[in-house]
Each structure stands twice: as structure tokens, then as C-alpha cells.
Amino acid sequence: MAAPPIFDMAENDAAGSEVQMWLEELGLGRYFGLLQAEGFDDFRIIRRATEEDVSELVTLCAMPRLHERQLRRALRDLHRKEADFRVEKWTFGGERSQDFGR
């Protein structure tokens, strides 16, 4: 019987610190504790947040409208950067495989 996976507290703390710094850069650092309590302290989770998730978090945090807009704008930027990275990675991989094929 295999042992259960070990939860890496250091990895989780590092991910949480990155999210906290990101929120602070946005001027939204005051919401980190509430987001963390709801499990949104890791970018892998934040990137997968649905519109419904974000609406629930905004309500839970009692965010003023301008803070909500700032958060939604930042999430859109995050998704856009991730999409751009995927395209670059795909393009680079395609060019690279063509180079090796010659």
C-alpha cells in the first residue's frame, strides 16, 4: 500500500506569498486573508477561478466596486499572459521540431 502524498507546507507558503505580493501590488493586499481562507492562495487555483467564483469572492470580501474592477482586470491580464505564453511555447515548439527535422 502506497503512502499518502505529503503536503508540502513550504511550497504552499511560497505560493501564498506570491499571491499576497500580487494582491499588494494591485492595492488589494487587505483581502489576502479572506482569499487564503477560501483556498485562493495559489495561482494554480486563481487561474482556474470561474466568473461565479470571482463573484462569490467579491461578495464575501465585501469589495467596493473599484476594488472588484481592479481584481477582475488583473485576472483578465493573468489569463491573457497565460494564453500568450501557451502560444509562444507552442510556436517555439513547432519551430524547434521543424529545425530538427531538417
Place 79 in a pLDDT band, splitting at 50, 70 and 90.
confident
Q: Can you tell me the distance from the alpha carbon of 38 to that of 36, in angstroms, rounded to the nearest whole number?
A: 5
Contacts of 51 (CB under 8 A, 6+ apart): none
Q: How far apart are CA 57 and CA 71, in angstroms?
A: 10
Which residues, in sequence order, are CB contacts of 46 under 8 Å at separation 6+? 19, 40, 75, 78
Residue spans of the domains in the chain: they are 19-101
Local confidence band at 4 (pLDDT 50, 70, 90 cut-offs): very low
pLDDT digits (tens, 9 = 90+) for 22-78: 999 999 999 999 999 999 999 999 989 999 999 999 999 999 999 999 999 999 998
Q: What is the mean pLDDT of the chain?
A: 79
Cell numbers 469589495 correspond to 63
19-101, what's its fold? DNA polymerase; domain 1 (1.10.150)
Name the pLDDT band for 87 (thresholds 50, 70, 90). Answer: low
